[in-house]
Structure 1
Amino acid sequence: MTLGKLMAIAIVLCGLIAGVSIYYLQVYHFYEDVVPTGTDDVMLTTQDGSRTAIPYADFRGIDADSSPIRYRACFTTTLTPAEAAETYKPYEGAEPRNAPGWFDCFDADAIGDAIEAGTARVFTGHRNMEFGIDRVVAITDDGRGYVWHEINDCGDKAYDGTPLGDDCPDRDSLEKDQ
């Protein structure tokens, strides 16, 4: 075998190993299971701004320290979307983000379709739980629920360098409250 062929094989193998490694790190390695507390894993913000836990069961969640928007969770609840709408703040413009394929209870496309069809409603879980990041909760007509993180308007402005304006909270005061 010539030196050229050996070099070509080495380059291909290095590329293949790098590709598989990057895929594994992004899809599996950074995620950790969220250990449920059994009492306050699913909380919604009431119309007056306080946060309360809702009834839930069958909670499954994943999160990663590598990004504030990697949180995903699934649960079941006896609370209907109509009942929730009477007490809790709606969340406008939420779009579920894809979860890793192995986290099979969270199908972002199906959740998005349910929101669009009106068979699921989205509520505010926690505004600015981290600066620019909101936790949102969707509840479907058939008693399933989903939680994920959204980048809010202040987060969009902060990340693209636009001046924040007066409607955004003070970043330092949020970090002290955490």
Structure 2
Amino acid sequence: MNGKLVGGVIVLAALVTGISIYYLQVYAFYVQLDPAEVEIRMTGIASEEPEPILTDALQAIDGDSSPIRFRACFETGRSIAGLTEQFVIYDAADPLNAPEWFDCFDAREIGEALAAGDAIAFLGEKNIHDGVDRVVAVFDDGRAYAWHQLNETYQD
């Protein structure tokens, strides 16, 4: 009987720990941002400086625990042709997964569209945090997504 009690306590402790870790990773460290406080910028070819772009229906999340937790979904009224003439294209774009509850951002769909040429990635801001770039992907229909990813500073 004593072994069953100790085993039960161990299983209960493992279950509580697992649930806590899941909650912390998926919910606790993310904050939904006020669209009025988020400015999406892309680096201009001529100026080599980040320039604000038009956004509509912006949804964004971020977290203080990591510089790569930022994700955003929005619409832009600009065409891809116009954007490619004005802004720096980002060749190493690799969209990072967002929490399941932030359902407007689908990293797999974005990655497949980038690979197929249905979307183009642009450099939002170089080194927005040390060793982290903001990347903006724009689709033909005006949908756009932004995320942070490690740049060459921290890649092999």
> Which TM bucket (shorter chain)?
over 0.9
What SS does the aligned partner of 2:54 have? coil
Decide which of 23, 31, 42 is 2:40's aligned counterpart.
Answer: 42
Distance, in Å, in 1 between the alignment partners of 2:131 and 2:5 is: 50
In structure 2, the partner of 1:130 is 129
| Corresponding letter in the other structure for 2:15 | L
In structure 1, the partner of 2:89 is 90
| Corresponding letter in the other structure for 1:14 | A
In structure 2, the partner of 1:20 is 19
Distance, in Å, in 2 between the alignment partners of 1:148 and 1:28 is: 18
Listed one character per residue, the Cα deviations across residues 104-127 of structure 1 (whole Å, up to 9, x for unaligned) are: 000000000110111100001100
Distance, in Å, in 2 between the alignment partners of 1:56 and 1:26 is: 29
Higher relative contact order (CA 8 A, sep 6+): 2
| Corresponding letter in the other structure for 2:76 | T
What SS does the aligned partner of 1:103 have? coil
In structure 1, the partner of 2:55 is 56
Distance, in Å, in 2 between the alignment partners of 1:142 and 1:12 is: 51
**Taking structure 2 as the reference length, what is the TM-score of the superposition?**
0.95
Distance, in Å, in 2 between the alignment partners of 1:92 and 1:31 is: 28
Kindly indicate whether residue 86 of structure 2 is the aligned counterpart of residue 80 of structure 1: no
Aligned residues, how many? 155
Gaps of 5+ in 1: 158-178
Q: CA deviation at 1:36?
A: 1.9
Distance, in Å, in 1 between the alignment partners of 2:89 and 2:54 is: 18
In structure 1, the partner of 2:112 is 113
In structure 1, the partner of 2:31 is 32
Gaps of 5+ in 2: none
Listed one character per residue, the Cα deviations across residues 8-62 of structure 1 (whole Å, up to 9, x for unaligned) are: 1111000000000000000000000112226x62111100212211111000000
Distance, in Å, in 1 between the alignment partners of 2:97 and 2:50 is: 26
Comparing 46-55 with 110-119, greater Cα deviation is found at: 46-55
Q: CA RMSD in A?
A: 1.2
| Corresponding letter in the other structure for 1:8 | G
Distance, in Å, in 1 between the alignment partners of 2:77 and 2:29 is: 32
Distance, in Å, in 2 between the alignment partners of 1:155 and 1:46 is: 24
**Taking structure 1 as the reference length, what is the TM-score of the superposition?**
0.84
In structure 2, the partner of 1:146 is 145
Percent of counterpart pairs with the same letter?
46
